[in-house]
Amino acid sequence: MSREPNGGEAPTAPESARQGAPSATADSFRGWLGIYLTGLCMGAADMVPGVSGGTIALVTGIYERLVTAIAALDPRVIAEFPAARTAAGRRRLRETFVGMDVPFLLVLGAGIGTAVLVLSRLLEAAFEEYLVLLSAFFFALMAASAAIIYRDVTLETPAQYAAGAVGIVIAFALSGAAESSGGGSLPFVALSGMIAISAMVLPGISGAAFLYVLGQYEYLVGSLNDFVDALAGLLVGGDVAAAVGPGTVVVAFMVGAVVGLLTMARVVKWALSRYRIATLAFLVGLMVGALRLPVEEAAAETTRVTPGLVAAIVAAGAIGAGAIVALDRYTGSLDYA
């Protein structure tokens, strides 16, 4: 058993949450590959407003292990790093990481990161060339997600209705402000990362949807692609300065995401355990209020309405709503209440 920096026992994931965990042997490759592929699916889902990576984790059977591993993360382990200069120190540090299920999180995170890097390029091109259709697709995703979650949430008290109304008002106002901002300050980017990562671990709640609500979605996708391009340019003699701007944005988001995992994810979990219906009503309200943004973006981009455009918008919306309905049916109607 490894030790925490304060001398206590290091946090260990419950056995039930670690059943089926791959061992660090050669024959565990298929297990780790399965976790990586699950991460790919989660990352793809997290890139789309309205679809939750947490739902994918639930469908694939790793949700409990994921939540347990996140809750077990303890920043005090940093104090053990100096002891890694010795063989015994490295062994204790390795045991601590295994106890917190860090290898699982790293492999899963690698899959999520791969999907994000690939899809960010496609989405940036879609924003430039097919903004109207993408807005219709996102509108349908978010509307269908809100409808499905609301279907399973019964509002009974004025406070619960008020929570939903507050969510609608906040998202509606933020969507209007975000429409013209095109980005945000670094503290706001970090705050967006905290909010998004907290939502991403919840089945049915989309972290990307809240980035969209905050007006950071397209901005962050573009910043990530610019940063990757700048890093690639360094290999052929490019300018380091080109990577500083977008890299700062990416780092700010990642810092916010890490802080969110260690703090806000626990706050959300507490809120759901104490005020589950009101919390879900608030989250659904945010999605409903955010529908303002794709509508206004599509309207601003449309100069002439034609039957072909209308048909394409309807088709994009049908695909988005159909994807959510199919996922909900496949998961057997997740119990949000």
End-to-end CA distance of the chain: 38
pTM of the model: 0.64
pLDDT of residue 239: 81
DSSP label at 210? H
Q: What type of residue is 197?
A: I
pLDDT of residue 3: 43
pLDDT of residue 7: 45
pLDDT of residue 2: 41
**Shortest CA distance to 216 belongs to which of 198, 242, 190?**
190
pLDDT of residue 263: 77
Tell me how far apart the alpha carbons of residues 173 and 256 are, in angstroms, rounded to a whole number. Answer: 23
Q: 307-330 and 131-151 are packed helices; what angle lies between their axes, rounded to 10 degrees?
A: 40
pLDDT exceeding 70 applies to what percent of the chain? 80
Q: For the residues of 259-295, what is the DSSP string, one character each? A: HHHHTHHHHHHHHHHHSHHHHHHHHHHHHHHTTHHHH
Q: Within the chain, which residues score under 50 in pLDDT? A: 1-27, 179-181, 333-337
**Shortest CA distance to 170 belongs to which of 290, 72, 320?**
290
pLDDT of residue 27: 43
pLDDT of residue 108: 92
